[in-house]
Copies of this chain bind each other. A is one copy, B any other.
Protein backbone atom coordinates (compact mmCIF):
# COMPACT_ATOMS: atom_id res chain seq x y z
CA UNK A 1 0.00 0.00 0.00
CA UNK A 2 2.75 2.46 0.94
CA UNK A 3 4.55 1.69 -2.26
CA UNK A 4 1.58 2.23 -4.52
CA UNK A 5 0.56 5.44 -2.76
CA UNK A 6 4.09 6.79 -3.09
CA UNK A 7 3.96 5.90 -6.74
CA UNK A 8 0.65 7.69 -7.04
CA UNK A 9 2.05 10.81 -5.37
CA UNK A 10 4.98 10.80 -7.77
CA UNK A 11 2.62 10.40 -10.69
CA UNK A 12 0.64 13.40 -9.48
CA UNK A 13 3.80 15.43 -9.20
CA UNK A 14 4.72 14.54 -12.77
CA UNK A 15 1.29 15.45 -14.13
CA UNK A 16 1.29 18.67 -12.19
CA UNK A 17 4.62 19.89 -13.43
CA UNK A 18 3.97 18.77 -16.93
CA UNK A 19 0.78 20.81 -16.98
CA UNK A 20 2.49 23.81 -15.52
CA UNK A 21 5.19 23.60 -18.16
CA UNK A 22 2.48 23.33 -20.79
CA UNK A 23 0.80 26.45 -19.47
CA UNK A 24 3.96 28.52 -19.31
CA UNK A 25 5.48 27.27 -22.51
CA UNK A 26 2.45 27.36 -24.76
CA UNK A 27 0.99 30.60 -23.43
CA UNK A 28 -2.34 29.08 -22.47
CA UNK A 29 -2.90 31.65 -19.74
CA UNK A 30 -6.48 32.67 -18.94
CA UNK A 31 -8.34 32.36 -22.16
CA UNK A 32 -11.84 33.09 -20.88
CA UNK A 33 -11.10 35.29 -17.90
CA UNK A 34 -13.35 38.03 -16.54
CA UNK A 35 -13.81 41.53 -17.88
CA UNK A 36 -10.64 42.93 -16.32
CA UNK A 37 -7.41 42.57 -18.24
CA UNK A 38 -5.27 42.53 -15.13
CA UNK A 39 -4.55 38.80 -15.21
CA UNK A 40 -1.63 38.62 -17.63
CA UNK A 41 1.33 39.45 -15.41
CA UNK A 42 1.98 35.86 -14.38
CA UNK A 43 5.35 35.28 -15.95
CA UNK A 44 6.80 38.61 -14.90
CA UNK A 45 5.27 39.45 -11.54
CA UNK A 46 7.27 42.66 -11.30
CA UNK A 47 5.07 44.25 -13.93
CA UNK A 48 2.11 44.52 -11.52
CA UNK A 49 1.70 47.85 -9.80
CA UNK A 50 0.05 46.81 -6.57
CA UNK A 51 -0.01 43.15 -5.75
CA UNK A 52 -1.00 42.89 -2.12
CA UNK A 53 -3.99 44.96 -1.15
CA UNK A 54 -6.20 43.20 1.41
CA UNK A 55 -8.81 45.99 1.51
CA UNK A 56 -9.28 46.11 -2.22
CA UNK A 57 -9.46 42.35 -2.57
CA UNK A 58 -12.01 42.10 0.22
CA UNK A 59 -14.16 44.84 -1.33
CA UNK A 60 -13.90 43.25 -4.78
CA UNK A 61 -15.07 39.91 -3.42
CA UNK A 62 -18.02 41.52 -1.61
CA UNK A 63 -19.05 43.42 -4.73
CA UNK A 64 -18.74 40.35 -6.95
CA UNK A 65 -20.66 38.22 -4.46
CA UNK A 66 -23.47 40.79 -4.35
CA UNK A 67 -23.86 40.54 -8.11
CA UNK A 68 -23.65 36.74 -8.20
CA UNK A 69 -26.08 36.15 -5.32
CA UNK A 70 -28.53 38.71 -6.71
CA UNK A 71 -28.49 37.13 -10.16
CA UNK A 72 -28.60 33.48 -9.13
CA UNK A 73 -29.88 33.23 -5.57
CA UNK A 74 -28.14 31.37 -2.78
CA UNK A 75 -28.64 27.97 -4.39
CA UNK A 76 -27.63 29.06 -7.87
CA UNK A 77 -24.64 31.22 -6.99
CA UNK A 78 -21.25 29.64 -7.68
CA UNK A 79 -18.20 30.25 -5.54
CA UNK A 80 -15.92 29.93 -8.55
CA UNK A 81 -17.96 32.54 -10.41
CA UNK A 82 -17.63 34.98 -7.52
CA UNK A 83 -13.86 34.52 -7.39
CA UNK A 84 -13.57 35.04 -11.13
CA UNK A 85 -15.80 38.14 -11.09
CA UNK A 86 -13.66 39.58 -8.28
CA UNK A 87 -10.54 38.96 -10.34
CA UNK A 88 -9.14 36.79 -7.60
CA UNK A 89 -9.11 33.26 -6.34
CA UNK A 90 -11.40 30.97 -4.35
CA UNK A 91 -8.83 30.65 -1.63
CA UNK A 92 -9.06 34.38 -0.84
CA UNK A 93 -12.81 34.17 -0.58
CA UNK A 94 -12.52 31.50 2.10
CA UNK A 95 -9.68 33.40 3.70
CA UNK A 96 -11.70 36.58 4.21
CA UNK A 97 -15.22 35.26 4.74
CA UNK A 98 -15.02 31.69 6.03
CA UNK A 99 -17.49 29.98 3.74
CA UNK A 100 -20.23 30.60 1.20
CA UNK A 101 -22.95 31.12 3.80
CA UNK A 102 -21.03 33.71 5.80
CA UNK A 103 -20.14 35.56 2.62
CA UNK A 104 -23.82 35.62 1.70
CA UNK A 105 -24.73 36.98 5.14
CA UNK A 106 -22.14 39.77 4.76
CA UNK A 107 -23.64 40.68 1.38
CA UNK A 108 -27.14 40.77 2.85
CA UNK A 109 -26.13 42.88 5.84
CA UNK A 110 -24.31 45.32 3.58
CA UNK A 111 -27.42 45.69 1.42
CA UNK A 112 -29.61 46.53 4.43
CA UNK A 113 -27.08 48.98 5.80
CA UNK A 114 -27.13 50.67 2.39
CA UNK A 115 -30.85 51.42 2.25
CA UNK A 116 -31.26 52.31 5.93
CA UNK A 117 -28.29 54.70 5.78
CA UNK A 118 -29.72 56.49 2.74
CA UNK A 119 -33.12 56.62 4.46
CA UNK A 120 -31.71 58.43 7.47
CA UNK A 121 -30.44 61.24 5.26
CA UNK A 122 -34.03 61.94 4.18
CA UNK A 123 -35.36 63.73 7.30
CA UNK A 124 -39.01 63.24 6.39
CA UNK A 125 -40.13 65.33 9.35
CA UNK A 126 -38.65 68.58 8.02
CA UNK A 127 -41.58 69.62 5.82
CA UNK A 128 -45.37 69.20 5.93
CA UNK A 129 -46.73 65.75 6.90
CA UNK A 130 -48.09 65.12 3.41
CA UNK A 131 -44.78 66.07 1.81
CA UNK A 132 -42.96 63.87 4.32
CA UNK A 133 -45.00 60.79 3.35
CA UNK A 134 -44.72 61.49 -0.34
CA UNK A 135 -40.95 62.01 0.05
CA UNK A 136 -40.61 58.65 1.77
CA UNK A 137 -42.66 56.96 -0.95
CA UNK A 138 -40.60 58.55 -3.73
CA UNK A 139 -37.31 57.78 -1.99
CA UNK A 140 -38.22 54.12 -1.44
CA UNK A 141 -39.40 53.65 -5.02
CA UNK A 142 -36.33 55.29 -6.53
CA UNK A 143 -33.97 53.39 -4.26
CA UNK A 144 -35.57 50.10 -5.36
CA UNK A 145 -35.27 51.26 -8.95
CA UNK A 146 -31.57 52.00 -8.58
CA UNK A 147 -30.76 48.87 -6.58
CA UNK A 148 -32.38 45.83 -8.19
CA UNK A 149 -29.80 43.65 -6.44
CA UNK A 150 -31.31 44.65 -3.10
CA UNK A 151 -34.77 43.43 -4.14
CA UNK A 152 -33.29 40.24 -5.49
CA UNK A 153 -31.42 39.53 -2.27
CA UNK A 154 -34.61 40.10 -0.27
CA UNK A 155 -36.41 37.59 -2.46
CA UNK A 156 -33.70 35.00 -2.03
CA UNK A 157 -33.55 35.49 1.71
CA UNK A 158 -37.32 35.10 2.04
CA UNK A 159 -37.30 31.95 -0.07
CA UNK A 160 -35.19 30.53 2.74
CA UNK A 161 -37.43 32.04 5.44
CA UNK A 162 -34.82 34.54 6.63
CA UNK A 163 -32.54 31.68 7.66
CA UNK A 164 -29.40 33.81 7.49
CA UNK A 165 -30.81 37.20 8.40
CA UNK A 166 -32.06 35.74 11.68
CA UNK A 167 -28.45 34.94 12.61
CA UNK A 168 -27.32 38.50 12.04
CA UNK A 169 -26.33 40.42 15.13
CA UNK A 170 -25.53 43.68 13.34
CA UNK A 171 -29.06 44.38 12.17
CA UNK A 172 -31.23 44.39 15.27
CA UNK A 173 -31.32 48.13 15.94
CA UNK A 174 -30.88 49.32 12.37
CA UNK A 175 -34.58 49.62 11.50
CA UNK A 176 -36.25 51.20 14.51
CA UNK A 177 -35.26 54.71 13.42
CA UNK A 178 -37.46 54.53 10.33
CA UNK A 179 -40.66 53.55 12.17
CA UNK A 180 -40.02 56.12 14.89
CA UNK A 181 -39.65 59.03 12.50
CA UNK A 182 -42.62 57.86 10.44
CA UNK A 183 -44.80 57.73 13.54
CA UNK A 184 -43.92 61.35 14.39
CA UNK A 185 -44.88 62.53 10.91
CA UNK A 186 -48.20 60.68 11.08
CA UNK A 187 -48.98 62.15 14.51
CA UNK A 188 -48.35 65.69 13.27
CA UNK A 189 -50.66 65.00 10.32
CA UNK A 190 -53.40 63.66 12.56
CA UNK A 191 -53.23 66.73 14.81
CA UNK A 192 -53.37 68.97 11.73
CA UNK A 193 -56.47 67.07 10.62
CA UNK A 194 -55.04 65.90 7.28
CA UNK A 195 -54.55 62.21 8.19
CA UNK A 196 -57.11 59.71 9.49
CA UNK A 197 -56.72 58.53 13.09
CA UNK A 198 -56.24 54.89 12.10
CA UNK A 199 -53.09 55.60 10.04
CA UNK A 200 -50.39 53.24 11.34
CA UNK A 201 -46.63 53.62 10.72
CA UNK A 202 -45.96 49.96 9.93
CA UNK A 203 -48.98 49.73 7.61
CA UNK A 204 -47.96 52.90 5.77
CA UNK A 205 -44.41 51.68 5.29
CA UNK A 206 -45.57 48.23 4.18
CA UNK A 207 -47.94 49.83 1.67
CA UNK A 208 -45.19 51.96 0.16
CA UNK A 209 -42.72 49.08 0.03
CA UNK A 210 -45.33 46.65 -1.37
CA UNK A 211 -46.19 48.82 -4.34
CA UNK A 212 -42.56 49.39 -5.26
CA UNK A 213 -41.30 45.88 -4.60
CA UNK A 214 -43.98 43.96 -6.47
CA UNK A 215 -43.85 46.08 -9.62
CA UNK A 216 -40.08 45.78 -9.94
CA UNK A 217 -39.34 42.31 -8.68
CA UNK A 218 -42.20 40.75 -10.66
CA UNK A 219 -41.87 42.89 -13.77
CA UNK A 220 -40.68 39.99 -15.93
CA UNK A 221 -43.62 37.65 -15.38
CA UNK A 222 -46.07 40.57 -15.36
CA UNK A 223 -44.79 41.96 -18.65
CA UNK A 224 -45.06 38.49 -20.14
CA UNK A 225 -48.57 37.60 -19.04
CA UNK A 226 -50.14 41.03 -19.56
CA UNK A 227 -48.25 41.79 -22.77
CA UNK A 228 -47.13 45.23 -21.60
CA UNK A 229 -43.48 46.13 -21.04
CA UNK A 230 -43.38 47.41 -17.45
CA UNK A 231 -39.76 48.48 -17.77
CA UNK A 232 -40.60 51.23 -20.28
CA UNK A 233 -39.88 54.73 -18.89
CA UNK A 234 -43.48 55.89 -19.38
CA UNK A 235 -44.84 52.97 -17.40
CA UNK A 236 -42.20 53.45 -14.71
CA UNK A 237 -43.17 57.11 -14.32
CA UNK A 238 -46.88 56.27 -14.24
CA UNK A 239 -46.33 53.75 -11.47
CA UNK A 240 -44.33 56.26 -9.43
CA UNK A 241 -47.34 58.56 -9.51
CA UNK A 242 -49.63 55.65 -8.64
CA UNK A 243 -47.54 54.83 -5.55
CA UNK A 244 -47.71 58.39 -4.20
CA UNK A 245 -51.41 58.65 -5.05
CA UNK A 246 -52.35 55.34 -3.39
CA UNK A 247 -50.26 55.98 -0.28
CA UNK A 248 -51.72 59.41 0.36
CA UNK A 249 -55.29 58.36 -0.54
CA UNK A 250 -55.12 55.57 2.03
CA UNK A 251 -54.40 57.93 4.95
CA UNK A 252 -56.03 61.21 3.94
CA UNK A 253 -58.76 62.48 6.24
Contacts and interface: CB of A to CB of B under 8 A. Distances in A.
A162 interface: yes
Interface in A196-253: 202-203, 206-207, 209-211, 213-215, 217-226, 228, 238-239, 242, 245-246, 249-250, 252
Given A246-B246, A250-B250, A213 B218 contact: yes
Nearest to A205: B226
The complex is assembled from copies of this chain, and their number is 2
Given A154-B221, A159-B152, A175 B211 contact: no
Contacts of A179: 226
B228 A202 contact: yes
Given A76-B74, A152-B159, A155-B159, A165 B225 contact: yes
A57 interface: no
A171 interface: yes
A224 B75 contact: no
A162 B221 contact: yes
B73 A242 contact: no
Contact of A159 (B156, B166, B214, B252): B156
Interface string A60-73: 00000000000111
A130 interface: no
- State the 4 A-B residue pairs at the shortest beta-carbon distance, nearest first: A75-B76, A210-B214, A162-B220, A75-B75
